Amino acid sequence: MQATSLGRRLRERLERRPEFFTLFLLIALSAFVGTVNPSFFQISTLFDIARSSTVIGLFALGVFVILAAGGIDVSFTAIAALSMYAVTKLVVVYQPATPILLVFVLSTVGGGLLGLINGFLVQSLKVPSLIVTIGTQYLFRGLLLTFVGTVWIIDLPTQMDGFGKMALLTLQTARGNTIILPAFVLILLAVALLTWWILNRTLLGKAVFAVGGNSVIAERLGYDLRAVHFFIFSYTGALAGLAGMIHVCSNRLANPFDLVGSEIDVIAAVVLGGARITGGTGTVMGTLLGVFLVVMINSVLIMAGVPSTWQRVVVGSFILVAGAFFVVRSKR
């Protein structure tokens, strides 16, 4: 009797909070990898996952905001590439001593302005955001490779190189190896808190979910669709510009061909976190859990002897399982 009651309560909680299902998948994957390869349960693995999750996590938080409003954006990696490479080239060529804070501000603002173009086009043309952002993805990529540059920038200014090396925590392993948790993981935490606050504690956040639930009804209730579109796309663009510059500093080079192509992983992470493509649902916590799940699949399955060619299969399988669960949940 108690087992039945416990199972019912667990099922009800999963139905109310789909991110718990994502957490279950994450724990199950960790248990599988750790059983096959016990070396997975080391602090160095946790540090690697945190490092790898920062850029994709920033992308995912931006995409989540757009999905919550019922839209979709596939241009965010092109925005990141254009912002980070243009700002890096500007700094290297003209002002190598630019303070690192200003470098990040320039890249973030640049990404926000590019995202604002997406919002303006979606609102003005009255066409699906997917169509608009497919077009602007090619547009931004073309501008980058035609007018900005195609050459890797390897010699970064000291302040950018130093930021990439900045450690939040440094530990020595039993074998004498040094493992580092980079300081830039705090940026992901700060942005996650900011995104949560906007979506859950402000009228703008309520408007985002209202528009995602039903834009016609939201407009009749007085929500400004124009303001919502401008915000969600500029916010996503700003996070893309920020993520792009973190990518440059952490890798200590600026490659204009980087980042583009990772859109599917990011969207998969948001969907696995419980956000529906149709909008109106999702949480910041679920998005982060989805990011960790995708990063683990892409980073540590090889530790369990799973070939890298199977990573997409595993991601796709998890999306199907999660999708089936969310459909059953919505019907109930």
| 239, part of any domain | yes
pLDDT for position 8:
57
- Output the CA–CA distances (angstroms, integers) from residue 96 to 105, 157, 167, 320, in the order listed: 15, 6, 23, 48
| 12, part of any domain | no
| 80, part of any domain | yes
Find out whether 36 and 302 touch, Cβ atoms under 8 Å. Answer: no
Rounded distance between C-alpha atoms, residue 283 and residue 285, angstroms: 5
**Which of 113, 77, 92 has the alpha carbon at shortest distance from 156?**
92
pLDDT for position 311:
72
Q: Which domain holds residue 125?
A: 17-331
Rounded distance between C-alpha atoms, residue 194 and residue 284, angstroms: 10
| 8, part of any domain | no
| 7, part of any domain | no
3-state DSSP assignment of residue 50 = helix
pTM over cut 0.75: yes
Residues 6+ apart with CB under 8 A from 229: 69, 71, 119, 122, 123
| 181, part of any domain | yes
Instruction: Report the CATH number at residue 154.
Output: 1.10.3470
What's the domain count of the chain?
1
Residue stretches of the chain with pLDDT short of 50: 1, 6
How many Å is the Cα radius of gyration of the chain? Answer: 21
pLDDT for position 119:
95
**Which of 46, 23, 22 has the alpha carbon at shortest distance from 34?**
46
pLDDT for position 16:
61
Residue with tokens 């369990």: 304
pLDDT for position 282:
85
- Output the CA–CA distances (angstroms, integers) from residue 74 to 115, 137, 158, in the order listed: 11, 7, 33
3-state DSSP assignment of residue 171 = strand
| 4, part of any domain | no
167-172 vs 178-182, strand pairing mode: antiparallel
| 62, part of any domain | yes
pLDDT for position 93:
92
pLDDT for position 214:
85
pLDDT for position 299:
78
